[in-house]
């Protein structure tokens, strides 16, 4: 499968990028946060209290706080290490 790699640590996603990704994943921007990440835990945040705007700011400031990897075909988003879901992107 061909792919395009984006290094989010070198170039964090924009607010618009995050909205688009969230939409493809059927979630909102706060749904892209990884509450289990070290970066998230260090901030002692409560996921339920984070707005989409705040989530975008957190991700842009520290992209490690986002769920990874993110794979998309432009129509669907797969978040995290789910090889069985990766296959669904390759079936086009």
15-90 sits in which CATH class? alpha beta
- C-alpha 75/C-alpha 89 separation (Å) is 9
Q: Is the pLDDT of residue 4 over 80?
A: yes
pLDDT band per the 50, 70, 90 thresholds, residue 1: low
What pLDDT is stored for residue 91 in this prediction?
65
Show the tokens assigned to 51.
């707005």
Q: What is the average pLDDT score of the chain?
A: 91
Q: Work out the average pLDDT over 66-86.
A: 89
Place of tokens 């992107």: 89
Find, among 21, 23, 47, 20, the residue nearest to 33 by Cα: 47
**Quick one: average pLDDT of 50-71?**
95
pLDDT of 72 strictly over 60:
yes
Of 81 and 12, which is predicted with more confidence? Answer: 12
Query: Which H helix or E strand runs over 78?
Result: strand 77-79
């Amino acid at each position: 499968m061909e792919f395009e790699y984006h290094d989010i640590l070198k170039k964090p996603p924009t607010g618009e990028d995050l909205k688009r990704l969230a939409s493809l994943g059927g979630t909102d921007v706060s749904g892209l946060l990884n509450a289990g990440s070290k970066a998230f835990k260090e901030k002692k945040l409560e996921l339920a209290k984070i707005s989409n705007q705040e989530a975008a700011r957190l991700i842009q400031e520290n992209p490690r706080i986002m769920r990874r990897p993110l794979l998309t075909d432009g129509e669907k988003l797969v978040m995290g290490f789910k090889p069985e879901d990766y296959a669904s992107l390759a079936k086009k």
